[in-house]
Amino acid sequence: MARPPRAVFVTLAVMLVLPIALTGSTGAQAVPGRSQSDTTAPLVLPPAKTEGVAPTAAGIKAALSAAFSDPSLGPHHGVYVYDASRAKPLLSLNATTPYVPASTMKLLTTVSALETLGADHTFTTKAVSGAKGSVTLVGGGDPLLALRPGPSTDFPQRATLQELAAGTAKALKAQGVTGVTLGYDASLFTGPAANANWEPNYLTEGIAARTSALWINEGRLSNGMAKRAPSPALAAATAFSGLLKKAGIKVTSAPKPVVAPSSATELAQVKSPTLGDIVEYINLHSDNDGAEVLLRQVGIATGNGGSYTGGVKGLRATLTKLGIDMSKATIYDGSGLSRSNHVPLEVLAGAVRMAVATPGLRHLLSGLPIAGFSGSLEDRFAGAGAGPGTGLVRAKTGTLTGVHSLAGYVRDRTGTLLVFAVATDSAPPAKALAARAALDRITAALANCGCSGP
């Protein structure tokens, strides 16, 4: 289906809208080096105003009413809208009871990670030696550590096991060592590797991995949503052993789990991309495994330990400290895979609201999928009534059977920045596509709205 003409100008629209959303500027600025009297070409779209016309709850409700009443959404669906330009709640429809968030849960996990660790934080994987002739591969909880046969153009650029093995072999040879025993240390994370609140088929079907502080390719044994290693740490160590052998270092025994002594000498290390880049990747691609690793990193950073239960405690404490009311939220994981999660729409929107207001959290905004163009929204917003949102709505998606949600931000036609969360957790499974299309129309209506009616 051809997209509406408005999509032709998406590049200009994004250029006009996003810098204001991300910088929070309060006034227009002249272009450096250009006279205000210079003759310029007419604008295809008018520039977005800093605040725009003040929308009203009645105006927003009227704009959303047709899509919001779609029967495919089921009996339990709601929407929450916040006027970020004026820092005030605007509309709450059927939003008083919590919803199963599905993958919009990742907004809470990633904003907590940014708040506790900082956007520039990196995770280190290293090889150490406790005694001559012994090497231990130590996991630092890098969610994107990769085993790659060659250079990659992926964003972000990942640390690789090949690079670590090459550095380790070089250091060993400099010491005159050509044969070693190999251990691996994944003790940074504690507790069960698999979340007890997930469906059992998540692990067997490759939907999720057993979370580990040491893994490669998120525990995958092949590309795509594929079978995961029963022990991701052992799989990583086995691959590392093979790389050392190729580099001329003989490994004299099979890798064994150990805890590296604090006095061990570092041989080599590789660092992950920055946390800001990792957050963008996780939200853009709805990466379940990356979110689960960050949940445990939040637990460690807040002093609650590296288990998923410790991570949830740290997440709740962090969001509460940010001023988000968590009293009605029930949370069991960081990815949203658990159907036992129940989160108010105001809390989901609150993560976005805090990112709009807080410079250190802005990677949450810049990584959100763009309607009709990127990530998990690439194939959305093509249906009737959704065109006004194409290229303008930025939101995290959430999908489980019967559950569909969107949470993000958009500027309306007058320039007002609106933060929103919309969800259903009662959609008939046979109406999944229709329910998603209704959510697209709801958020597109916000993009197309002046909404200053009575």
Task: Calculate the dihedral angle through the C-alpha atoms of 211, 212, 216, 221, rounding to the nearest 10 degrees.
Answer: -50
Is 173:167 a contact under the CB 8 Å cutoff?
no
pLDDT of 241 reads: 98
Over range 34-52, report the average pLDDT: 48
Strand partners, 146: 160
| Residues 450, 453, 454: CA angle, nearest 5 degrees | 160
pLDDT at 28 over 50: no
Is 354:322 a contact under the CB 8 Å cutoff?
yes
pLDDT of 6 reads: 39
Over range 221-246, report the average pLDDT: 91
* Confidence band for 63, pLDDT divided at 50, 70 and 90: very high
pLDDT at 163 over 70: yes
Please name the residue that has the structure tokens 């489980």. 400
d(C-alpha 127, C-alpha 129), whole Å = 7
Please name the residue that has the structure tokens 């079978």. 227
* Confidence band for 225, pLDDT divided at 50, 70 and 90: low
The share of the chain scoring above pLDDT 90, in percent, equals 81
pLDDT of 223 reads: 75
pLDDT at 7 over 70: no
Over range 135-146, report the average pLDDT: 98
- The enclosing H or E element of 393 equals none
Estimate the crossing angle of helix 275-285 against helix 105-117, to 10 degrees: 180
Over range 58-65, report the average pLDDT: 95
For the stretch 425-446, pLDDT in tens is 999 999 999 999 999 999 999 9
For the stretch 247-272, pLDDT in tens is 999 999 999 999 999 999 999 999 99
- Residue of 68, 63, 66 whose CA lies nearest to 79: 68
Residues 6 or more apart whose CB falls under 8 angstroms from that of 289 comprise 143, 208, 209, 211, 218, 219, 335
Is 221:227 a contact under the CB 8 Å cutoff?
yes
Which amino acid is present at 276? G
Q: What does pTM read for this prediction?
A: 0.88
**What are all long-range contacts of 21-27, with beta carbons under 8 Å and residues at least 24 apart?**
21/356, 21/365, 21/409, 21/411, 21/417, 22/362, 22/365, 22/366, 24/356, 24/357, 25/50, 26/50
For the stretch 167-217, pLDDT in tens is 999 999 999 999 999 999 999 999 999 999 999 899 988 889 999 999 999
Strand partners, 411: 417
Please tell me the least confidently modeled range out of 117-126, 146-155, 249-258, 395-404.
146-155
Active-site residue numbers? 103, 106, 286
Which domains occur in the chain, in start order?
Answer: 5-25+45-117+280-447 (3.40.710.10), 124-273 (no CATH)
pLDDT of 333 reads: 98
- Cβ atoms within 10 Å, residue 258: 18
Q: What is the largest CA-CA distance in the chain?
A: 81
Q: Which has more confidence, 187 or 2?
A: 187
For the stretch 278-307, pLDDT in tens is 999 999 999 999 999 999 999 999 999 999
| Residues 440, 444, 450: CA angle, nearest 5 degrees | 155
Q: Which has more confidence, 184 or 10?
A: 184
For residue 142, give both structure tokens.
């890098």
pLDDT of 454 reads: 65
For the stretch 72-103, pLDDT in tens is 999 999 999 999 999 999 999 999 899 999 99
- Residue of 95, 73, 58 whose CA lies nearest to 343: 95
